[in-house]
């Protein structure tokens, strides 16, 4: 019995659909029961390795496959004992961007979820420490969203403060350093 069949047998309607692309199976699941499904996959089906967790923004998507919601959170799992990959997907609407956290199952999910929150603004409920990771704490918006510009039109306001601080610090003498570049 394949993994998808086992999942369907156990969770029934919470499994929303499946999709095959380049011989790789993805399973759409209901986000409300995601922790139970992940716990089942981890404990009983032996998917011990969470290879990757990331978000995708489908704003303005022109592909043939229909996307119901704006965001998707993608979990790439791998079972080391059976050499079998599996992709789990959760659709996340724009108005209510939240997903239950899986940090209690995989420790590695901690930073993956923080990054996903940083880049897409998707909130992971139950995450112990949901802060920004790569971007500055007071950065406006979430950079990997499709409506975030590649280049800001104006300079980031905090940057001027940083420059000011650097100017202030350059007044001090720093050990043996005499002239810049000297």
Partner 1 sequence: MAPTVEIHRKQIGHPEWDEPFVVNMGPQHPSTHGVLRLFLELDGETIVGCDPRIGYLHRGLEKLSENLTYSQALVLTDRLDYISSAANNTGYCLAVEKLLGLSVPRRARLLRTIVCEMARISSHLLWLATHALDIGAMTVFLYCFRDREWLLDIYEKICGARLTVSYTRIGGVRLDFTPEIVEELYRFTEEFPARITDYETLIDVNRIWLKRTKGVAVVPPEKAINMGLTGPSLRGSGVPYDVRKFKPYDAYDEVEFEVPVGRNGDTYDRYRVRMEEMRQANRIIRQCLDKLPETEGEPVVAEGAPDLLMPEKKKSPQAVPHPKKGFLVKGAEVPVVPEGEVYVSIEAPKGELGYYIVSDGSGKPWRVRVRAPSFVHISAIPEMVKGHMVADIIAVIGTLDVVLGECDR
Q: Which residues bind partner 1 (CB under 8 A)?
A: 21-22, 24, 26, 48-52, 54, 56-57, 61-65, 74, 76, 80, 83, 85, 87, 106-108, 110-111, 115, 119, 133-136, 143-144, 148, 150, 169, 172-175
The nearer residue to partner 1, 37 or 120, going by C-beta atoms, is 120
Query: Least distance (Å) from partner 1 to the CB of residue 4?
Result: 17
The nearer residue to partner 1, 37 or 115, going by C-beta atoms, is 115
Residue pair 32/11 in contact (Cβ under 8 Å)? The answer is no
Query: Least distance (Å) from partner 1 to the CB of residue 9?
Result: 26
The nearer residue to partner 1, 13 or 66, going by C-beta atoms, is 66
Query: Least distance (Å) from partner 1 to the CB of residue 79?
Result: 10
Residue pair 173/180 in contact (Cβ under 8 Å)? The answer is no
Helix (H, G, I), strand (E, B) or coil at 8: helix
Phi and psi based region of residue 19 (left: phi greater than 0; alpha: psi -120 to 50; beta: remaining):
beta
The nearer residue to partner 1, 34 or 109, going by C-beta atoms, is 109
Residue pair 40/88 in contact (Cβ under 8 Å)? The answer is no
The residues near 136 (Cβ < 8 Å, ≥ 6 apart) are 158
The nearer residue to partner 1, 15 or 72, going by C-beta atoms, is 72
Query: Least distance (Å) from partner 1 to the CB of residue 94?
Result: 17
Q: Give me 134's structure tokens.
A: 């790569």
Q: Give me 178's structure tokens.
A: 């005499």
The residues near 159 (Cβ < 8 Å, ≥ 6 apart) are none
Query: Least distance (Å) from partner 1 to the CB of residue 28?
Result: 13
């Amino acid at each position: 019995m394949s993994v998808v069949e086992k999942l369907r047998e156990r969770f029934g309607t919470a499994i929303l659909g499946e999709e095959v692309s380049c011989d790789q199976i993805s399973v759409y699941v209901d986000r409300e029961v995601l922790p139970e499904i992940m716990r089942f996959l981890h404990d009983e089906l032996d998917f011990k390795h969470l290879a990757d967790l990331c978000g995708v923004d489908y704003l303005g998507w022109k592909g043939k496959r229909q996307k119901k919601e704006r965001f998707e959170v993608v979990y790439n799992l791998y079972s080391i004992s059976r050499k079998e990959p599996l992709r789990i997907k959760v659709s996340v609407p724009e108005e209510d961007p939240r997903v239950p956290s899986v940090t209690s199952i995989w420790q590695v999910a901690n930073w993956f979820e923080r990054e996903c929150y940083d880049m897409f603004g998707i909130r992971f409920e139950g995450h112990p420490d949901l802060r920004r990771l790569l971007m500055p704490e007071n950065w406006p918006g979430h950079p990997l969203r499709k409506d975030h510009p590649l280049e800001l039109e104006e300079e980031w306001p905090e940057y001027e403060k940083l420059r000011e601080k650097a100017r202030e610090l350059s007044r001090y003498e720093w050990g043996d350093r005499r002239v810049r570049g000297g």
